[in-house]
């Protein structure tokens, strides 16, 4: 019996971006909030998902993203 992967979680409702999209962007080399937002489309409308983007990046790369990046991505 095949193992079912965990379902993707949509965290950016404005652009329908999932946690998997962030993982893919990080795997492709994105390391900052701005880079991930550019790659996925997250954080470009209301901006309420930007902290979720930051958290997901930290989970995937295990390094801290400077807080200053949040303002750049949301603007």
Residues near ligand FES, by CB under 6 A: 12-15, 42-49
Min CB(74)–ligand FES separation in Å: 8
Question: Which is closer to ligand FES, CB of 12 or CB of 22?
Answer: 12
List Cβ<8 Å contacts ≥24 apart for 23-29.
Answer: 23/56, 23/60, 26/57, 26/60, 26/61, 27/60
| Closer of 2 and 60 to ligand FES (Cβ) | 60
**Nearer of residues 43 and 70 to ligand FES, judged by Cβ:** 43
Q: How far is CA 64 from the centre of its chain?
A: 14
């Amino acid at each position: 019996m095949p193992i079912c992967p965990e379902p993707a979680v949509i965290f950016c409702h404005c652009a329908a971006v999932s946690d998997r999209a962030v993982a893919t962007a990080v795997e492709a080399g994105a390391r900052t909030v701005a880079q991930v937002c550019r790659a996925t489309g997250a954080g470009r409308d209301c901006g309420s998902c930007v902290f979720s983007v930051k958290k997901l990046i930290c989970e995937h790369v295990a390094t801290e993203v400077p807080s200053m990046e949040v303002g750049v991505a949301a603007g």
